[in-house]
Structure 1
């Protein structure tokens, strides 16, 4: 009987020793330090033509947002795809919409419109008459 009690005592001590080793090796959580939350950085602006058109179409866009959209058009999309013979490229419709919408926007300034006009005509002389027609259409549709 004494041997079985001795074996049970040793087994109990081994289990307790195992638990203590497990607790000692477990990584400690420091409750005194404060957690610093990382604020997400500002998402990158989308530079595709559809996103820029969306900003210009938005009636609540500010002058700064419109100016930034015009700068993005000139930076990333200043070269209009070449004409298809005598016909204009179907992708020019997006530029035409930008001109008309920008001319009609309540927060657009003449400087924005002229800047966009001059730069696009300078980079795309084949589209000069189409660009002028688009601006004229937009200005004529203003209230």
Structure 2
């Protein structure tokens, strides 16, 4: 009689372990990992903060040539200009174009740096070639006048 209880207890323990493992495996398969993708608005906000920081670097009179070069690379890679809407430049693009003007008019910017900026920004933003040229020329014209 005791042998039957012992066998029954062993079978019950094995059944409980198998059922527990089955439940754990089933729950692992149901686990869903939700990745939060930054929304368009959050990306725009981060990009706006980045371009504004680069504009501040270009606006400082004591920014070095290396600072300006790094800012140009950052704008070309991380801050693409906003898309034109029906062929028209949106208002937010003024900040980006102001960056071009400030770099072109900066006292530590030489012809090589301005040419580098021109090439990099036009590569990254081909639809803004004309506007980049206009703001670059305006900045070059303001070089002696900028305080």
- For 1:123 and 1:64, the matched residues in 2 are separated by 20
Task: Structure 2: state its 5+ residue gaps.
Answer: 1-48
Normalising by structure 1, we get a TM-score of 0.61
What is the CA distance between 1:95 and its match in structure 2?
1.6
What are the Cα deviations for residues 81-122 of structure 1, in whole angstroms up to 9, with x where unaligned?
111112102221112111111111111122222122112212
Which residue pairs with 1:66 in the alignment?
68
- For 2:126 and 2:66, the matched residues in 1 are separated by 28
Regions of 4+ moved over 4 Å: none
Q: Greater Rg, structure 1 or structure 2? A: 1
Alignment coverage as a number of residue pairs:
96
**Preserved CA contact (<8 Å) 2:69 2:113:** yes
Normalising by structure 2, we get a TM-score of 0.60
For residues 1-143 of structure 1, what are the structure 2 equivalents within 5 Å? Answer: 48-77=50-79, 79-143=80-144
- For 1:124 and 1:69, the matched residues in 2 are separated by 16
- For 1:74 and 1:104, the matched residues in 2 are separated by 18
Task: Structure 1: state its 5+ residue gaps.
Answer: 1-46
**Preserved CA contact (<8 Å) 1:103 1:142:** yes
Name the Cα RMSD after superposition: 1.5
What are the Cα deviations for residues 69-89 of structure 1, in whole angstroms up to 9, with x where unaligned?
112112211x21111112102
What is the CA distance between 1:137 and its match in structure 2?
0.9
**Preserved CA contact (<8 Å) 1:70 1:112:** no
